[in-house]
Amino acid sequence: MLAESVYRSEDVPTADRFDCWRTLVGQTHVPVELVSDHQEDFAVFQRTLSLGAVSVWPASFQPVVFRRTPQLIRESDPEGLHLTLPLKGMLHVSRERDDASYGPYSLNVLRTSHPFEIRAVEGADGLHTGVGLEVPAALLPIPSRRLDRLTGLRLPAGEGFGALLAQLLTQLANGTHAYQLSDGPRLETVVVDLLSALLAHALDADTLLPPATHQQALVLRIRAFVQGHLHDPQLTPPAVAAAHHISTSYLHRLFQREEETVAAWIRRQRLQRARRDLADPAQRATPVHAIAARWGFPRAADFTRAFRTAYGIPPKEYRRQALRTTE
């Protein structure tokens, strides 16, 4: 697991819950004024994940208003960027020259150096749920004057780098058991690269990105593309390269720093999905060859050979053993 702390309002005396959370928000985000109709008995659950200098904080809480005032900015300004991904409920954001509303799975970016007001509206369960991301502006390869133009920009969360960043934040919000403590700095690099690429594209400032950031962002896009096309038996390195308008040789160069070649990584992803389905009791009636075809192995013999090579056991035997342990 990653380095993580948890705040539950039920662990705090009722009278102290709102003030305790106000202090926590000041530590994980920036000092803000908080106002809520529910502050006499405030309900909140927040996790704070540390990724080096970057922090991610999934949270669910009752409706509240956050205000970052000029006085608070003068008193304390970490000069960071705050990105919010609402998952349930709405955000109504007022800034110096802009008012906007953000629904679930939209991206809102604010600078801690500028005043703002955020009204977090609850979802159907009475709570607002979302993921906050804090990134020091100094980590981004974009000048401060360009970042000032973020006011009023709508960042897409359904495509491109916005979708990749939203997927990563949602995954972290769902749990970090798949990661080790040492993965924190690596995830910091991934988050910063994705956010840099997203902001540079939105600000028409792609030329400001260093080559390493361009390359890392492209690798992340390629990985997401592959994950969404594993079912296609024609998903080969040349096909992946063509889909991203690069040469096959450049694709291989991009993956030189990775642990395996592009073809080997695609094969491993397919085998992992097939192995998961073979061990799923709900799919016990699905033929092995159908599962193989689902994940890009149209020839059963090729799948059996690849599966045995990877896991040391034929797929039918693996399924028999896996399902026996669930009975």
Residue 26 has pLDDT above 80, yes or no: yes
Name 121's bridge partners: 90
Average pLDDT over every residue of 44-60: 93
- Residues 199 and 260 reside in one and the same domain: no
User: How buried is 35 (Cβ within 10 angstroms: 0-12 exposed, 13-18 middle, 19+ buried)?
Assistant: middle
pLDDT of residue 327: 57
Same domain for 160 and 259, yes or no, is no
Is there a single domain that holds both residue 108 and residue 251? no
pLDDT for the residue numbered 326: 63
Instruction: Tell me, yes or no, whether 159 and 253 share the same domain.
Output: no
Whether 313 has a pLDDT exceeding 70, the answer reads yes
Q: Is 176 in the same domain as 251?
A: no
Q: Which of 172, 143, 151 is nearest to 59 (CA)?
A: 172
User: Does residue 140 share a domain with residue 52?
Assistant: yes
Same domain, 12 and 59: yes
Look at residue 145 in the predicted model and tell me its pLDDT.
80
Residue 138, pLDDT > 80, answer yes
- The verdict on 278 and 153 lying in the same domain is no
CATH of residue 250's domain is 1.10.10.60
Q: Evaluate whether 161 touches 197 at the Cβ level (below 8 Å).
A: yes
- Tell me what pLDDT residue 68 has: 94
**Tokens encoding 201:** 């594209």
* Range of lowest pLDDT (80-89, 216-225, 268-277): 216-225
Q: Give, as one character, the DSSP assignment of residue 13.
A: -
| Sequence-ordered list of residues with C-beta below 8 angstroms from that of 250, at least 6 positions apart, any chain | 241
Q: What is the pLDDT of residue 11?
A: 94
How do residues 262-301 score in pLDDT, each as one tens digit? 899 899 989 998 998 999 888 989 999 999 999 999 999 9
Reported pTM: 0.71
Domain count across the chain? 2
* Residue 140, pLDDT above cutoff 90: no
Confidence of residue 211 (pLDDT cuts 50, 70, 90): confident
Residue 260 lies in domain:
243-324
Query: What was the pLDDT predicted at 98?
Result: 80
**Per-residue confidence (pLDDT) for residue 100, from 0 to 100:** 87
Question: Is 229 domain-assigned?
Answer: no
Domain boundary pick from 204, 235, 260: 204
Q: DSSP labels for 17-53?
A: HHHHHHHHHHHHS---EEE-TTGGG--EEEEEEEETT
